Each structure stands twice: as C-alpha cells, then as structure tokens.
C-alpha cells in the first residue's frame, strides 16, 4: 500500500519522481524495472493525475477516460503488464451532431474514408492523399504549416470537412486550426489506425493495477506528499524537499507541469539565460469544464453512443469552443460495460475553457455560472436522452479552477503546453544535470497514450544519466 | 561476444517486443521496420535493454545504426567485444 505521507520514505533514492500522472507512473515503473531505487511522490491523496475519478452517492465519475487510440494495447503490454492490456476494449459508437452534419462512426480510417467520399462527396484520391500525408508525419518534420493550411490543401473551402477532422482532436488535446499540422497529423493518425478504445473496469481499476505493478517492482509510493523544491547545487540535482523533509537523489523526474517545474520547483535561477529565452514562447494549453451526471440506481439509458461530439454552433470556431457559454461539448457516456459488475450509468459533458474567464469570478457569480453550465448541458443532452432530468440524481460541475486545484498546473491547463513546450521539456537536463521532465507537452505527448509513451522516452533519458 | 551471439541477443530482444513477429527468417540487410511491426518506441526499447544488459550507452545520433540486423551487429561488435 502507498504511504500516506513522506514520513516513511528512506533518506536516499536513485531517483525521485514528482507527480503521479500517467507519465510519472510510467517513468517510475520503467526505471524500477531497469533496477533503480525509485521514490514516487504525489501531493494529492490519489494517484493518477488527470487520469482520475471521484465517487458520489454510489456513482463513479471518470475525468479523462473518454477514449484513447489502439496503440495503448501494445504500449500497456510492453510498459505495464498483460492484465492491463487485456482490459482494453473498443468503443464502436462515436457520434457527431451539429448544424452541418449528423454522423455515427467507428472513428477509423476505413469508416472515415467511406464517410468523406459517400457523405461529404470528396473525391477518393484527395482522401487517400490526405491520409497518406498525415500518416507520414514526424515530430521533427517542418512545422511551419498550420493545421488550417493542411486542411485547405486537401479540402479547400470545406468547412464541414474541417470540422469533422478538427473537432474531436480539439477535445482530445486542446489543439486547433492554428497549431502545427504535424501535431494534428500524428494524433489524428493514432486514432484513425483502428478506432477508439477504453479501459474496462474504469480509471480506478487501471490505477489500482498500475500501483500493484509499481509495488511489485519495488517503487516506494507516498501520497499526500508535496514536493516543495528540487535542490540543485552547482548545476546538479542533489535531492528534493518534500513536506519539510530532504530526500537525497541524483536524479529527479518532474511530472509537474513544465512551467511549474521551472518556476516553482527548480527556480529560474537554476537555468542559463539561453535556456530561459527558449521558455518564453512556451504557451500552456487551455483548460476544461466538465459536468458530471449520475443516473439513479435502477434506471437505465438506451445506447445513444459512447462519445457524442455535439454543437449547435453553426461552424467550428476556436473562440466559440473556449467561451464560457460555448454551445460545443462532448458527452462521454459510461454504460455498465465500463465497470462490469457495477451496474450504473454516468454521463460526463466536457468543454474546453479558458482559466482566466473563470479565475476572476467572485464566489457567488462562480456558483451561478456553474449552475448555468449544468443547465445548458442538460438542455443539450435532452436532445439525445429526453428524460435525462428524471433519471439523474447527481449533478456537479468542474471548472478550470477545479483542474488547477487538483493538478496544481499553471492556469489549470488540462492538455499541458503547445508545441514549443516539447523542446523545453526534452532539454532541461542540458542545464541541470539529473533533472528531467515528463508530462503533457507539445500536444503530441498528451492524452493517455502520449503521456505513457513520453514516460518511456524520459525513463530512457534518465536511465542513461543514472548509468553514466 | 561473437557476431552470432550478438545476433541472437538482438533477436531475443526483438521477439520480446514484437511477440507475433517471425524473427527466424529475417533478411539481415533489409530494414527491420519493413519486415516486422516495429515503431520508433520499439527501437528505444532495444536501446534501453542493451544499456541494462551491457551498460552500453547508444547516443540518439547512432539510432539509425540499428536499422537492420546486419547494421546492428556491425555497430555492436566492437562495442561488445569484451562482454
């Protein structure tokens, strides 16, 4: 069992991992597997970072389970274990509903090709060309082309096609038309490979299985343990101060936000002027709002789809999607199949949001805005589940302030940073020997699959340092 | 290690990564990626496993040397001669 404070940790480890998002968990597991002594600390009482859940009145609400690409199967087998891999199942019913089109799809290349040619009447050659182009994209390729330019090149003037291609990815990682085409291509291709998948048993089961594996591999885990400062001396990591205790370690992997790591944990004084220049263009991504709806025990919902990308806005519009009163939201429907044996239904509405819009509100106004958001979400969901209000016995909202409180992320970002953050994250250790960062950066290292794979990449860097 | 021993180690590591891959009949001079279901993450796994087993540090710039079975063996032979 994880310790509930830092008190029982040893005085010294080979490596301390700060934060237990999927990236931090994976780095800890890989390094332990490679034979290092690892301490994993988490400020919250629960592990998982944004891969989390909460319980209310018998309901279990998943925050970010929504759906991930097929690549998770191989990734979980290689970097976790077979039991985790075996719990991954496909979601077949992805629904789009907006004034431009209503579609039901398996969200894979074959089905999208058919939809684009038959329904949107795009010629087959352009569709094939588009898929081949995005599938061939690498993160080190030229990134001057924006996603908007990519769409215009293959589907000029087709706002409806652009919306079909962009909207789900905006919900997946906060990116939009203005972000580099390569970030779009890499993430979109991951999903188009074989469709959308989920974890049978829910987020709580996944994290429980990961903790079991970490403990089997000898990782010491301390929750309710907040890292205050990474101690750096003459350009080298010496350890971490955690709730007043100094833990010695030559290597620290921070799974805090990249800007939190630089500003709050290491301190800017630890870095060269040249490196600080590189940080300037780093932008944190937007945050999110969510509305959680618990269905009363004994009630059931018809299958209206697993993921519903809905909007009543006339067209895809970056600002509209971030607005406090956005008319665009994703409904994630969790049927009893999500947690076999737990015979309950929940619905989670997710919206993109700006931290600054919510942070400034006085308390009373903040509560009112949350109520209004719940009401707008119910009105939208009534189009698919007309009697949702009668079936619901729990309603609750989260805002960028909620995300900030639980993750401590700069401006409550739910998708890390835009593209520039990747380079900064990858080169921290050039300035401070033994300091590494893992977490959502660069858009492509975001989402469950991106976070886990990035955890493996960073574990390799840290392992190379530890053995040097 | 001899060239044959190095080859066996590489095949063993690859088999762990790509369980369904047919590693017995690989063409040594063709890229591994064209013959097996390997991606860039898999090559990182090979690098990390070699470091774990033989303390061998392979810099990122040398990753292309691992492209085919033959180039792997050529690259590793002088580096593993005392193992």
Please state the rounded mean pLDDT for residues A321-330: 97
DSSP string, A403-447: HHHHH--GGG-SS-B-THHHHHHHHHHHHSBTEEE-SS-TTTT-H
Say which of B17, B41, B51 has its CB closest to residue A463: B51
Residue of chain B whose Cα is closest to the Cα of A77: B17
Note the helical H segments in A268-354.
273-279, 318-322
Which of B64, B77, B82, B73 lies closest to B11 in space, CA to CA? Answer: B73
How many A×B Cβ pairs under 8 Å?
A: 28
Pairing of strands A15-18, A38-41: parallel
Instruction: Classify residue A144 by burial, with Cβ atoms within 10 Å: 0-12, 13-18, 19+.
Output: exposed
Checking if the pLDDT of A71 tops 90, the result is: yes
Nearest by CB to A78, from B17, B55, B57: name it. B17
What domain range includes position B47? 3-79
pLDDT at A140: 81
Residue contact A467–B55, C-beta within 8 A: yes
Asked if the Cβ–Cβ distance from A467 to B51 is below 8 Å, we say yes
* Residue pointed to by tokens 């955890």: A455
CB contact under 8 A, B41 and A467: no
Q: Which residues of A touch B15 (CB under 8 A)?
A: none
CB contact under 8 A, A456 and B52: no
Token reading at A155: 């589907």
Per residue in B15-37, pLDDT (tens digit) is: 999 888 888 889 999 999 889 98
Contact between chains at B51 and A75 (C-beta distance less than 8 A): no
Check CB contact of A30 with chain B, cutoff 8 Å: yes
Query: Which domain CATH number covers B74?
Result: 1.10.1200.10
Q: What's the gap in Å between the CA of B73 and the closest CA on chain A?
A: 21
**For residue A33, what is the nearest residue in chain B, using CA coordinates?**
B52
pLDDT of residue A142: 82
Please give the Cα distance from A236 to B31 (Å, whole number).
Answer: 40
**Statement: residue A151 has pLDDT above 90:** yes
Share of chain A above pLDDT 90, in %: 98
Q: What is the pLDDT of residue A141?
A: 83
Nearest to A460 among B17, B47, B55 (CB): B47
Mutate to test the interface with B, among A72, A430, A463, A466 (most CBs of B within 10 A): A463
- Which pTM does this prediction carry? 0.96
Average pLDDT of the segment spanning A419-431:
95
- Indicate yes or no: CB of B57 within 8 angstroms of CB of A456: no
Number of structural domains (chain B) is: 1
A120-134, A139-153, A223-237, A421-435, range with the lowest pLDDT: A139-153
pLDDT digits (tens, 9 = 90+) for A158-186: 999 999 999 999 999 999 999 999 999 99
Residues 6+ apart with CB under 8 A from A316: A159, A162, A163, A166, A167, A177
pLDDT in tens, B26-74: 999 999 988 998 888 999 999 999 999 999 999 988 999 999 999 999 9
Per-residue pLDDT for A270 more than 90?
yes
Alpha carbon dihedral A95, A98, A100, A101, in 10-degree steps, equals 20
Residues belonging to chain A: 468
């Amino acid at each position: 069992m994880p310790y509930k404070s830092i008190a029982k940790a040893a005085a010294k480890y080979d490596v301390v991992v700060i934060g237990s998002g999927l990236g931090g968990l994976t780095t800890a597991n890989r390094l332990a597997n490679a034979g290092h002594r690892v301490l994993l600390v988490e400020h919250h009482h629960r592990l998982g970072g944004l891969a989390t859940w909460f319980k209310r009145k018998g309901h279990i609400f998943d925050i970010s389970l929504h759906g991930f690409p097929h690549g998770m199967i191989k990734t979980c087998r290689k970097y976790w274990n077979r039991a985790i891999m075996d719990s991954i199942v496909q979601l077949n019913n992805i629904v789009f509903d907006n004034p431009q089109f209503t579609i039901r799809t398996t969200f894979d290349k074959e089905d999208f090709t058919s939809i684009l040619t038959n329904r949107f009447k795009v010629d087959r050659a352009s569709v094939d060309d588009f898929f081949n182009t995005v599938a061939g994209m690498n993160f080190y390729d030229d990134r001057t082309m924006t996603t908007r330019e990519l769409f215009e090149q293959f589907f000029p003037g087709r706002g409806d096609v652009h919306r079909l291609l962009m909207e789900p990815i905006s919900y997946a990682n906060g990116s939009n038309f203005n972000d580099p085409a390569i970030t779009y291509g890499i993430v979109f291709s991951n999903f188009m490979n074989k469709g959308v998948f989920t974890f049978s048993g829910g987020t709580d089961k996944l994290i429980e299985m990961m903790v079991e594996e970490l403990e089997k591999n000898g990782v010491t885990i301390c929750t309710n343990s907040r890292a205050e400062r990474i101690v750096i001396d003459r350009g080298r990591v010496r350890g971490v101060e955690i709730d007043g205790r100094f833990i010695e370690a030559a290597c620290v992997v921070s799974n805090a936000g990249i800007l939190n790591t630089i500003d709050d944990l290491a301190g800017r004084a630890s870095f060269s002027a040249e490196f600080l220049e590189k940080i300037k263009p780093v932008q944190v991504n937007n945050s999110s709002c969510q509305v959680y709806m618990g269905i009363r025990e004994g009630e059931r919902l018809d299958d209206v789809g697993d993921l519903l990308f809905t909007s009543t806005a006339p067209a895809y519009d970056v600002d509209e999607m971030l607005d406090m009163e956005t008319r665009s939201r994703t409904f994630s429907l969790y049927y009893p199949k999500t947690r076999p044996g737990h015979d309950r239904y929940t619905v989670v509405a997710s919206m993109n949001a700006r931290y600054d819009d919510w942070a400034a509100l006085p308390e009373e106004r903040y509560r009112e805005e949350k109520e209004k958001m719940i009401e707008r979400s119910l009105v939208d969901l009534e189009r698919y589940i007309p009697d949702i209000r009668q079936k619901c016995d729990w309603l609750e909202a989260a805002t960028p302030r909620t995300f900030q409180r639980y993750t401590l992320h700069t401006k409550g970002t739910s998708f890390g940073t835009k593209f520039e953050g990747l380079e900064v994250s990858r080169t921290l250790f050039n300035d401070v020997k033994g300091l590494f960062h893992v977490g959502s950066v660069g858009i492509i290292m975001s989402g469950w699959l991106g976070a886990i794979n990035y955890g493996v990449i960073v574990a390799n860097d840290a392992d190379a340092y530890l053995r040097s | 290690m001899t060239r044959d021993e190095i080859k066996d180690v590489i095949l063993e590591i690859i088999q762990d990564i790509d369980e369904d891959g047919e590693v017995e009949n690989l063409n040594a001079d063709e890229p591994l990626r064209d013959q097996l279901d390997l991606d860039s993450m898999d090559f990182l796994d090979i690098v990390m496993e070699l470091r774990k087993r033989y303390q061998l540090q392979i810099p990122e710039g040398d990753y292309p040397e691992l492209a085919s079975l033959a180039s792997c063996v050529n690259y590793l032979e002088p580096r593993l001669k005392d193992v």
